[in-house]
Amino acid sequence: MRTNRPRVTTLPLAAFALLSLGGAATTSAQVPEEDFAAATAGGAAAGRAVLYSCDIPTNRVGFGYLQERPSEEGVKAVDIYLRLYANTGITRGKHAVHIHETASCNPCGTAGGHFDPGPNSNTSPDGNHPFHAGDLTNMTLDRQGRGYHMMTTTRVTLSDGPLSVFDEDGSAFIIHTNPDTYCPEGEAAGCAGGSRAACGVITPYP
């Protein structure tokens, strides 16, 4: 299987800036990946993850960026951007995306359940879904298995605090094989996306 590693990446900040200006949602702003460091130099907490295939763990299949918006609020807004490359073996269509509870991808099962800190924590992947802190929205891949995904969550933080993804054992993104149904009937096997297709440990960035 081939791993596609393009030379340029799409800068999430640029895309969000376009959105906030009222422009059409677009991910066309192409800048070198390294420029993300400059864009986050303002001191906002940020994170990144390199995504690897769960079937062939040496295959890099994409990446993710996270950036917390500076604010004095106890609950923060975190912008998340994910990209999956073409031809990685991950199929077209919708795929569940979550933050899982442990910074481990070898194998993907070691990422554990869904990130859900707090006194009522319930990390069961198919139970307590979609109420976990780490539950995110589906991403859609095109015919070649390529996709971009942007979302904003207020369920987690990157800075210190009770909702931080950088807790004692860290956190990881998981892209699942199937779509997330958000489990409308309650706990049902596979309702949160089933088996794991890609995994990326989230690390502070830069």
Which CB atom, from 36 or from 63, has the smaller least distance to Cu ion? Answer: 63
Binding mask 75-104 for Cu ion (x = CB under 5 A): -----------------------x------
Helix (H, G, I), strand (E, B) or coil at 140: strand
Which CB atom, from 83 or from 98, has the smaller least distance to Cu ion? Answer: 98
Cα separation, 102 vs 135, in Å, equals 14
Kindly report the length of the chain.
Answer: 206
Backbone angles phi, psi at 198, to 5 degrees: -150, 155
- Binding to Cu ion in span 96-155, by CB under 5 A: 98
Which CB atom, from 44 or from 134, has the smaller least distance to Cu ion? Answer: 134
Q: How far is the CB of 186 from Cu ion (least distance, A)?
A: 17
Which CB atom, from 98 or from 146, has the smaller least distance to Cu ion? Answer: 98
- The sign one gets for the Cα dihedral 33, 35, 40, 41 is positive
174 makes contact with Cu ion (CB under 5 A): yes
Q: How far is the CB of 163 from Cu ion (least distance, A)?
A: 18
Question: Apex CA 77: angle with CA 134 and CA 20, to 5°?
Answer: 125
- Which residue has the CB atom at the shortest distance from Cu ion? 98
Backbone angles phi, psi at 19, to 5 degrees: -65, -45
Q: Give residues in contact with Cu ion (CB under 5 A).
A: 98, 174
